[in-house]
Amino acid sequence: MADIHGNYVALERCMEFCRRRGIDTYFFLGDYAGELAYPERAMDMLFEIKEKNQCYFVRGNKEDYWKDYHARGETGWKEYDSTTGSLYYTYYQLSQKSMDFYDMLPIRQKVKIGNFPEMTICHGSPYKTNEKLLPDKERTVEIMKQNDTNVILCGHTHIQGSIENEGRCVLNAGALGVSLFAEGKAQFMILSDDIASEDVSLRWNRKEELGIKYAFLSLSYDVERVIQDLHVAGLNQYAPCWCKVTEYLLRKGDVAHGFVLNRAMELCEKAEGECIWPYIPEKYWEQAVREMIKC
């Protein structure tokens, strides 16, 4: 499971599915909070899951954001600002327990469980939390070749899928909390080392040469409850346009925050000669949202 982003409603839905199947080992691939209201509810659930199951956690780029903001004296983000308001809100909602937990997380882990092959788990890539492993990119192939396991499990792109090259593979679990191009559903992945099983309850992809099979999951959940939380918690005031994108992404899943951010920065640069993040006036966010989101 990757990119939960504080979506405790989706997390509970996916965990119910896993518990019914008797799954008791979990890889959590970073970005545990951010974007959504009440992030500590998701963190409390993760701590409870950790107590009752065999769990492996790695750090995502969001965890780096919280750590770096603390290290630089909690400066640079502000309320009522679409560029950094969501970051500001989340940071000040997180408990010391969560922050201490993030401090302990590695950027990657090499994991060997039972009959599974050795696998590398990470958020972006095994080397950078914010690096995207994308299909048809030379950098992705380079990383796959130099990595010391044949299987890499990752997230970060918010897009579920697999990449294969010369007997190696990258499996991206998709985003559980704010998926992209998934019609607003919660996404994750299940792995099995029982290659011979004829279990047809899931749509399995077999990698016999690696000794695993995997299934990509996309589950519906109560999206409107998550959106209501944004308004009840006041997060839509902390980051007005950012939250409009969040609502659209939760419902439709085809416009990412980064797309709108880039457009707002283009508009700012065109009008003012330059645009340096995070100083993006709200009027350019508003224009970008009008152009890109068709409610």
Q: In this structure, are 247 and 209 located in the same domain?
A: no
Residue 29: predicted pLDDT: 98
Does the residue 200 lie in any domain? Answer: yes
Q: In this structure, are 181 and 271 located in the same domain?
A: no
Q: What's the order of all strands across the beta sheet hosting 108-111?
A: 108-111, 119-122, 151-154, 168-172, 161-165
Does the residue 224 lie in any domain? Answer: no
Q: In this structure, are 72 and 198 located in the same domain?
A: yes
The total domain count for the chain is 2
Q: In this structure, are 157 and 247 located in the same domain?
A: no
Q: In this structure, are 214 and 246 located in the same domain?
A: no
- Non-local CB neighbours of 203 within 8 Å, separated by 6+ positions: 215, 216
Place of tokens 């695993």: 212
pLDDT tens track of the chain, all 295 residues? 999 999 999 999 999 999 999 999 999 999 999 999 999 999 999 999 999 999 999 999 999 999 999 999 999 999 999 999 999 999 999 999 999 999 999 999 999 999 999 999 999 999 999 999 999 999 999 999 999 999 999 999 999 999 999 999 999 999 999 999 999 999 999 999 887 776 777 899 989 899 999 999 999 999 999 999 999 999 999 999 999 999 999 999 999 999 999 999 999 999 999 999 999 999 999 999 999 997 5
- 168/150 Cα distance (integer angstroms): 5
Q: In this structure, are 91 and 189 located in the same domain?
A: yes
Largest CA distance in the chain: 62
Does the residue 90 lie in any domain? Answer: yes
- Tokens encoding 20: 């019914």
The residue segments making up the domain with residue 277 are: 240-292
* HEC letters along 193-261: CCCCCCCCCCCCEEECCCCEEEEEEEECCCHHHHHHHHHHCCHHHHCHHHHHHHHHHHHCCCCCHHHHH
The pTM assigned to this predicted structure is 0.96
Does the residue 192 lie in any domain? Answer: yes
Q: In this structure, are 34 and 134 located in the same domain?
A: yes
Quick check: helix, strand or coil at residue 32?
coil
Q: In this structure, are 152 and 253 located in the same domain?
A: no
Does the residue 2 lie in any domain? Answer: no
DSSP-assigned letters across all residues of 69-132: HHHTTS-S--SS-TTTHHHHHHHHHS-HHHHHHHHH--SEEEE--TTSPPEEEESS-SS-TT--
- Tokens encoding 86: 């969501």
Distances (CA, A) of 106 to 56, 211, 250, 271: 10, 26, 29, 42
Does the residue 29 lie in any domain? Answer: yes
- 196/213 Cα distance (integer angstroms): 10
Distance of CA 199 to the CA centre of its chain: 29
H/E element, 170: strand 168-172
Residue 60: predicted pLDDT: 98
For residue 117, say if its preceding peptide bond is cis, omega within 30 degrees of 0. no
How many residues can be counted in the chain?
295
Residue 295: predicted pLDDT: 57
Does the residue 226 lie in any domain? Answer: no
Does the residue 230 lie in any domain? Answer: no
